[in-house]
């Protein structure tokens, strides 16, 4: 196992009716800015629950944070933060609202020229407005991690700081019942790929991490399809298991002390930035191609994955790996996400620009060995055609 330091300070309030907790969790003296997206929280009753819980607080709101939140939208919030002396941010929404609010938290107190510099130039984030969230879409893990992803002018890039980790997160599975089938599928697949990117690398004998990761993969494979099936889609137990699995998949626990990959995500971000494809749908296209292209480097773990996740015991090593990749693709298809570039109307002619963008963004040594160069990324995209 590799050396590691691990801490996750986000307090989780999990379960039905937990939104009311926010009235106790946010200091009464705080001046709160509630941030949200395009209005789903108004139609599913979450906005009303949050308003009720904040009835004794001073609060304002900032809406319109879009999926794959943009720098331009987020910067508009800085006026109200200044005018009203906001000192607490409450994000109410999916990963985009949570990520966008993390950006706002750091941007509002940024002392450099332009907050974009902490995304692209590695400028340090030295301070941030305290933030918390009410999560409405289980997928990204953003509710208890230190990362965010923002977009500007066709560039979609991550940033990280312990200062933007939510102080607390409310996870009420009941609020996920209003999600569309598309967002349910996306969420399960995103959490699945987060787990894989921290598991399917090379072995360092991290038995605890491996078995936690395998538990999450089994849970997502078992429960994901139930959240789409007519008879079980409203089952709160199903929703609760998916929600907790998605948080655990990217809260730092399973990735501590083991190598990590993230090539699928970085290539996927270019597909979103260039072609507007939903985050999870880029992953379901790229991951099977990464498995195929990097099968030698990942051989030992691919065999473990084949046996422990898909119960594949027959055939030689190569046949086992082929079957595991096939079953991964079948699972994605069950979750109604695409698995090929052609499924989203992209082809060979689009690959050059994607590689150019990856290179421009410094994504030239991806993967657990840093061996995924632009040439290898090209092979991956060709395998995904
Ligand atoms: O904007 P509203 O009206 O709220 O609608 C949203 C949005 O249209 C809707 N939605 C959310 N909760 C709902 C709901 N609709 C009905 N009922 C509900 N309960 O769903 C749509 C998509 O929301 P979005 O927040 O964009 O989805 P997701 O949670 O998948 O977040 C994706 C973003 O997170 C980033 C992605 O790159 C992408 O920008 N990620 C963040 C990570 C992190 N911070 O650690 C890691 C991930 O790998 C990922 O990169
Ligand atoms: Zn993701």
On the 0-12 / 13-18 / 19+ scale of CB atoms within 10 A, 24 is: exposed
Among residues of the chain, what percentage have pLDDT more than 90?
99
Note whether 170 and 190 are same-domain residues.
no
pLDDT of 122 reads: 86
Q: How do residues 142-160 score in pLDDT, each as one tens digit?
A: 999 999 999 999 999 999 9
Shared domain for 119 and 267, answered yes or no, is no
State how far the Cα of 78 lies from the Cα of 11, in Å rounded to an integer. 27
- Give the structural domain span for 201: 184-383
C-alpha distances in Å from residue 280, one per residue of 123, 146, 236:
29, 20, 23
Both 149 and 262 in one domain: the answer is no
Does the beta carbon of 175 lie inside 6 Å of ligand 1?
yes
Banded pLDDT at 320 (limits 50, 70, 90): very high
Q: Is 67 in the pocket of ligand 1 (CB under 6 A)?
A: yes
Distance, CA of 102 to CA of 149 (rounded, Å):
9
Q: What is the CATH number for 77?
A: 3.40.50.1970
Residues 154, 200: one domain? no
Is 179 domain-assigned? no
- Residue where a domain stops, chosen among 107, 140, 174: 174
- By the 8 A CB rule, do 280 and 363 touch? no
For ligand 1, the distance from its centroid to the CA atom of residue 278, given in whole angstroms, is: 9
Residue 366 is given by DSSP the state B
* Distance from C-alpha of 294 to C-alpha of 202, rounded to nearest angstrom: 11
Which pLDDT score, from 0 to 100, does residue 101 have? Answer: 98
Ligand 1 atom closest to Cα of residue 183:
20
Q: How many domains does the chain have?
A: 2
Average pLDDT over residues 78-99: 98
Output the six-digit token pair for 32.
Answer: 């709160």
Residue whose tokens read 């002018």: 153
Among candidate residues 174, 193, 224, the one where a domain is terminated: 174
CATH of the domain at 246: 1.20.1090.10
Q: What is the pLDDT of residues 182-192, one digit of tens each?
A: 999 999 999 99
Q: Is the pLDDT of residue 317 over 90?
A: yes
Ligand 1 atom with the smallest distance to the CA of 67 is 26
For the Cβ of 271 lying below 6 angstroms from any atom of ligand 1, the answer is no
- In 3D, which of 275, 261, 262 has the Cα closest to residue 354? 275
pTM value > 0.85: yes
For residue 6, being part of any structural domain is answered with: no
Closest approach atom of ligand 1 to CA 272: 37
Question: What is the spatial distance between Cα 344 and Cα 279, in angstroms, rounded to a whole number?
Answer: 13
Q: Please say whether the beta carbons of 141 and 171 come within 8 A.
A: no
């Amino acid at each position: 196992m590799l050396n590691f330091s691990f801490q996750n300070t986000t307090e989780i309030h999990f379960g039905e009716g937990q939104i009311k907790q926010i009235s106790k969790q946010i200091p009464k003296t705080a001046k709160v800015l509630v941030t949200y997206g395009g209005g789903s929280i108004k139609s599913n009753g979450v906005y009303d629950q949050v308003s009720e819980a904040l009835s004794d607080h001073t609060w304002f709101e900032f809406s319109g944070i879009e999926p794959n939140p943009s720098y331009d939208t987020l910067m508009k919030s800085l006026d109200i933060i200044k005018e009203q002396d906001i000192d607490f941010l409450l994000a109410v929404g999916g990963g985009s609202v949570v990520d966008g609010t993390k950006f706002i938290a750091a941007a509002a107190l940024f002392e450099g020229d332009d907050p974009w510099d902490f995304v692209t130039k590695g400028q340090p984030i030295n301070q941030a407005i305290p933030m918390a969230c009410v999560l409405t879409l289980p997928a990204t893990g953003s509710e208890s991690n230190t990362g965010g992803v923002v977009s500007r002018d066709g560039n979609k890039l991550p940033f990280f700081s312990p200062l933007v980790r939510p102080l607390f997160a409310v996870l009420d599975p009941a609020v996920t019942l209003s999600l569309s089938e598309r967002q349910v599928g996306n969420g399960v697949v995103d959490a699945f790929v987060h787990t894989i990117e921290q598991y399917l690398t090379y072995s360092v004998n991290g038995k605890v991490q491996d078995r936690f990761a395998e538990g999450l993969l089994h849970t997502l494979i078992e429960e994901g399809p139930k959240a789409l099936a007519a008879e079980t889609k409203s089952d709160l137990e199903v929703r609760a298991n998916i929600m907790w699995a998605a948080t655990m998949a990217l809260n730092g626990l399973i990735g501590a002390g083991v190598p990590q990959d993230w090539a699928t995500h970085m290539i996927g971000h270019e597909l979103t930035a260039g072609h507007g494809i939903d985050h999870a749908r880029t992953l379901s296209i790229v991951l099977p191609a990464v498995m195929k292209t990097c099968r030698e480097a990942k051989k030992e773990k691919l065999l473990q994955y084949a046996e422990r996740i898909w119960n594949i015991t027959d055939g030689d090593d190569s046949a086992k790996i082929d079957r595991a990749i096939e079953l991964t693709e079948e699972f994605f298809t069950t979750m109604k996400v695409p698995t090929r570039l052609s499924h989203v109307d992209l082809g060979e002619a689009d690959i050059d620009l994607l590689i150019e963008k990856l290179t421009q963004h410094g994504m030239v040594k991806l993967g657990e060995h840093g061996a995924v160069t632009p040439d290898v990324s090209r092979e991956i995209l060709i395998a995904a055609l």
